C-alpha cells in the first residue's frame, strides 16, 4: 500500500494494475472539500467514485429535481415512509452544516472537479431505499418505533458543530463508537448501515479497477478502514441488494388485531346484549374518529382532510388500505400541493418548531402522522373499556 501526501485520512493501493486512492472525509469539513479538489487536480484520476447512490447523485446533479416530484403520487403509491425517511435524513444533515458548508459538499466538489477533467463519475453506494428497508425490517416493531422517534426528535434540536468536532468526525472510529453506544438490539441496524455498506462500497470501487487505471474514491471517514479491509478480495454483493421480506409477526399482525377486536365485540354482544354491543360500537366510531380528527386539526389540515381522518379512523384497523393518516395526507397533498420553495426551505423551516407547520411538505407529514397517532390512542382507550366490560360480565357469569 502506498501513501499520497494528504492532511486527511487517505489510503492508496495497487489492485490489478490500477491505482486506487480512497479519501476519508467529514461531510461538513472545508478541509475535506479542499483536499478533494487538490487531489483531483493534481492526480488527474480517470474515474471518480463518490459515496452516493444512483438516485442521490441525480439529486445532486439536478438541482431542480424537487420541481418534478408529485407528492400526491408519492402518497397514492404509498411511498410516504421512504420519502419521509429521506427528508428526515436531509433535514438532519442540513442542521449539521457549519457556516456556508452543506453536508455532502465534498461529494459535489468531487463531481464538479471530476467533470472538469472529463473523469468518469461513478456512484458506488447502495440505493438509500434498500438500505433503509433492510435496516427497518431487521429490527422488531418496537425497536422501529424507537428508532423512528429518535430520528424525528433529532430534528427539533439544533446541533452546534465546532471546527474541533468536525475534525474529530474524520476519526476512523467515530461511527464505530456511535454504534457501540446503542443497545444490542440495534446491532442489526449497525450491520446494515455500516458493515454491509463497507463491503458494498469496497466491491463497487474494486469493480472500477477493472476498467480504469487511476481510481479516486471519496467516502465518509467512518467507512475508510472497512473498505480497505474488504477491497483486497473480490466478493459477491448481489445479496446486499435484496430487499427484505416481512417476518412472520409483520405478516400476521394486520390480521391478528382485527380478529381480536371482532371477537371482543362478539363477546360483548353475547354477554351484554344488543344494546351493550351497539353502545360500544358507537363509542369505537366516535372516540377513534374524534381523536384522529383532533390530530388532523393540530396538524392544521384542510377541512376535507379532517373529515376523512374522522371517517377512516374506525375502519383503519380492519382495512390495511384505509388508514386515517394515509387518507388525510392523500387529501392534503391534493388540496395543498407543496411549492418548489417549500422543498428548498426544508432545512431552514425545520430549524424551528413552528416551521414544521409553516412548510407544506412537513405539514403533510404531520397530517399523515398525527391522525394516525390519535386513532391509535382511541383504539387503546376503547379496547381497554371493551375488555374491562367483558371481564366484568365473565366474572358475574361465573
Domain boundaries, the chain: 10-241, 249-392
| 50: β partners | 123, 218
State how far the Cα of 292 lies from the Cα of 375, in Å rounded to an integer.
5
Rounded to the nearest integer, the mean pLDDT of the chain is: 79
Q: pLDDT tens for residues 246-268?
A: 667 767 777 787 888 888 888 88
pLDDT band for position 173 (50/70/90)? very low
DSSP per residue, 293-337: HHHHHHTT--HHHHHHHHHHHHHHTT-SS--HHHHHHHHHHHHSP
- Using CB atoms within 10 Å of the CB of residue 125, give its burial: 0 to 12 exposed, 13 to 18 middle, 19+ buried: buried
Yes or no: say if 325 and 346 are a contact pair by the CB < 8 Å rule. Answer: no
Q: Output Rg (C-alpha) for the chain, integer angstroms.
A: 26
Distant-in-sequence, close-in-space partners of 286: CB < 8 Å, separation ≥ 6: none
State how far the Cα of 51 lies from the Cα of 56, in Å rounded to an integer.
10
Separation of CA 379 from chain center? 27
Q: pLDDT tens for residues 199-257?
A: 999 999 999 988 889 999 999 888 888 999 999 999 999 999 887 776 677 677 777 87
3-state secondary structure of 211: coil
pLDDT band for position 175 (50/70/90)? very low
Query: Which residue shows C-alpha cell 450491520?
Result: 191
Distances (CA, A) of 340 to 38, 67, 89, 95, 345: 35, 6, 19, 20, 9
Amino acid at each position: 500500500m502506498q501513501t499520497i501526501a494528504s492532511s486527511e485520512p487517505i489510503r492508496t493501493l495497487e489492485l490489478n494494475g490500477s491505482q486506487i486512492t480512497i479519501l476519508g472525509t467529514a461531510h461538513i469539513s472545508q478541509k475535506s472539500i479542499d483536499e478533494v479538489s487538490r487531489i483531483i487536480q493534481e492526480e488527474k484520476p480517470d474515474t471518480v467514485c463518490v459515496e452516493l447512490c444512483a438516485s442521490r447523485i441525480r439529486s445532486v446533479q439536478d438541482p431542480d429535481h424537487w420541481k418534478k416530484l408529485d407528492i400526491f403520487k408519492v402518497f397514492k403509491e404509498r411511498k410516504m415512509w421512504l420519502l419521509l425517511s429521506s427528508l428526515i435524513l436531509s433535514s438532519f444533515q442540513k442542521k449539521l452544516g457549519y457556516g456556508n458548508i452543506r453536508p455532502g459538499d465534498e461529494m459535489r466538489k468531487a463531481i464538479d472537479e471530476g467533470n472538469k477533467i472529463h473523469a468518469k463519475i461513478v456512484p458506488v453506494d447502495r440505493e438509500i431505499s434498500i438500505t433503509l428497508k433492510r435496516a427497518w425490517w431487521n429490527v422488531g416493531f418496537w425497536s422501529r418505533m424507537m428508532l423512528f422517534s429518535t430520528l424525528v426528535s433529532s430534528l427539533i434540536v439544533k446541533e452546534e458543530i465546532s471546527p474541533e468536532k468536525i475534525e474529530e468526525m474524520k476519526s476512523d472510529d467515530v461511527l464505530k463508537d456511535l454504534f457501540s453506544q446503542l443497545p444490542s438490539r440495534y446491532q442489526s441496524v449497525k450491520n446494515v448501515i455500516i458493515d454491509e455498506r463497507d463491503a458494498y462500497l469496497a466491491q463497487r470501487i474494486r469493480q472500477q479497477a477493472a476498467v480504469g487505471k487511476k481510481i479516486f474514491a471519496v467516502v465518509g471517514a467512518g467507512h475508510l478502514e472497512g473498505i480497505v479491509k474488504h477491497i483486497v478480495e473480490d466478493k459477491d454483493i448481489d445479496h446486499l441488494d435484496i430487499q427484505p421480506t416481512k417476518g412472520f409477526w409483520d405478516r400476521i399482525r394486520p390480521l391478528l388485531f382485527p380478529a381480536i377486536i371482532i371477537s371482543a365485540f362478539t363477546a360483548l354482544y353475547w354477554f351484554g346484549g344488543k344494546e351493550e354491543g351497539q353502545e360500544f360500537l358507537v363509542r369505537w366510531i366516535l372516540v377513534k374518529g374524534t381523536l384522529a380528527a383532533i390530530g388532523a386539526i393540530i396538524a392544521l389540515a384542510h377541512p376535507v382532510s379532517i373529515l376523512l381522518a374522522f371517517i377512516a379512523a374506525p375502519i383503519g384497523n380492519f382495512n390495511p388500505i384505509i388508514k386515517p393518516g394515509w387518507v388525510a395526507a392523500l387529501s392534503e397533498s391534493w388540496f395543498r400541493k407543496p411549492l418548489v420553495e417549500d422543498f428548498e426551505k426544508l432545512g431552514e423551516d425545520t430549524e424551528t418548531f413552528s416551521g414544521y407547520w409553516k412548510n407544506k411538505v412537513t405539514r403533510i407529514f404531520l397530517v399523515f402522522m398525527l391522525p394516525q397517532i390519535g386513532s391509535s390512542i382511541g383504539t387503546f382507550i376503547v379496547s381497554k373499556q371493551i375488555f374491562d366490560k367483558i371481564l366484568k360480565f365473565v366474572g358475574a357469569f361465573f
